[in-house]
Amino acid sequence: MPLDSGFREQTVIMIEKAIEVYGAARVSPGMSKIWGSKNEADFLCGFFVGQMTGSALAAFQGVHGREPSAEDHLEIVKMIEEHAGQIRGIFDRFR
């Protein structure tokens, strides 16, 4: 069953606000050393996408009172992927 339009709209707003905040934020010095990552930009991008996915899944649980189905989860991931260009742009400065 497709996600309802109200949830989709709120999730897109959350994603877009997070992109705005992350775009202006600074990163902790030495993050690569702390986490042992070889590519800081890729690590940060994955971290951001993971946060967005987790936030959207938690919001889904709060709104619907149940765990998202595999289909719901995939639809949420696709909503985040629709912003891939903007998200990659944030982390290009670390390349």
Q: Read off the pLDDT of residues 33-63 as tens digits, 9 standing for 90 and up.
A: 888 888 888 888 999 999 999 999 999 999 9
Measured CA distances, 76 to 8, 27, 35, 55, 63 (Å): 8, 26, 27, 10, 14
pLDDT of residue 1: 62
Number of domains in the chain: 1
Q: Can you give the residue range of the structural domain that contains 88?
A: 40-95
Domain membership flag for residue 57: yes
- Model-level pTM? 0.84
Measured CA distances, 57 to 8, 11, 47, 53 (Å): 12, 10, 15, 6
Domain membership flag for residue 11: no
